[in-house]
């Protein structure tokens, strides 16, 4: 029942803007990440871990995995509307995230501050509720 649309926009040399609306969520914060593989052959499970070209621990928008987009907030109706400025995410060049996955999670992402091993890997964000593959859409 969780679904939505997420638009990625980047002009050369500027941060990527990630704008979206996701519905059907429990109210509150939900971890949101770019995952390594745009592979939905086994649902959201086959998307691998967070996109992490630098081989570092999980974190937030400033440091950590490039795919760490922190959390989105769902209101009392279960709707999350957001615009994220992601200065480490690229749509152009060798670190382009086009073809990778985007995943919304059941729980809040602790941004690597949870004090356990899983926090440094996934932020303890829990189950993968919904996901999609990042693709290029022609402007019409």
Q: Which residues are catalytic?
A: 33, 35, 50, 58, 65, 68, 105, 128
Q: Does 18 bind Cu ion (CB under 5 A)?
A: no
- Which one of 18-26, 32-40, 91-99, 130-138 is the stretch in contact with Cu ion (CB under 5 A)? 32-40
Strand order in the sheet with 68-74: 3-9, 16-23, 80-86, 68-74, 28-35, 101-105, 128-133
> How far is it, in rounded angstroms, from Cα 34 to Cα 57?
15
For Zn ion, which residue of 30, 35, 65, 100 counts as binding (CB under 5 A)? 65
Q: Does 36 bind Zn ion (CB under 5 A)?
A: no
Q: Does 29 bind Cu ion (CB under 5 A)?
A: no
> How far is it, in rounded angstroms, from Cα 56 to Cα 63?
9
Q: Does 100 bind Zn ion (CB under 5 A)?
A: no
Q: Does 35 bind Zn ion (CB under 5 A)?
A: no
User: What is the four-CA torsion angle of 21, 27, 31, 34, rounded to 10 degrees?
Assistant: -20
Q: Does 33 bind Cu ion (CB under 5 A)?
A: yes
> How far is it, in rounded angstroms, from Cα 8 to Cα 17?
6
DSSP string, 102-124: EEEESS---TT-SSSTGGGTTTT
Q: Does 103 bind Cu ion (CB under 5 A)?
A: yes
- Which one of 24-32, 40-48, 59-67, 94-102 is the stretch in contact with Zn ion (CB under 5 A)? 59-67
For Zn ion, which residue of 30, 58, 100, 128 counts as binding (CB under 5 A)? 58
* Residue 103 interaction partner, one of Cu ion, Zn ion, none, beta carbon < 5-8 Å per kind: Cu ion
26 DSSP 8-state letter:
P
User: Which one, 22 or 69, has the nearer CB to Zn ion?
Assistant: 69
């Amino acid at each position: 029942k969780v679904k939505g649309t997420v638009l990625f926009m980047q002009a050369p040399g500027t941060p990527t803007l990630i704008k979206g609306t996701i519905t059907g969520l429990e109210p509150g914060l939900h971890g949101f990440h770019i995952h390594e593989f745009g592979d939905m052959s086994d649902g959201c499970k086959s998307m691998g871990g967070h996109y992490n070209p630098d081989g570092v621990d999980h974190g937030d928008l400033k440091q950590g995995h490039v795919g760490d987009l922190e959390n989105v907030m769902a209101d009392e109706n279960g709707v999350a509307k957001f615009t994220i400025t992601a200065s480490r995410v690229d749509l152009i060049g060798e670190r382009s995230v086009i073809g990778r996955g985007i995943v919304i999670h059941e729980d809040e992402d602790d941004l690597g501050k949870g004090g356990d091993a899983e926090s440094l890997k996934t932020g303890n964000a829990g189950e993968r509720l919904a996901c999609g593959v990042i693709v290029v859409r022609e402007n019409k």
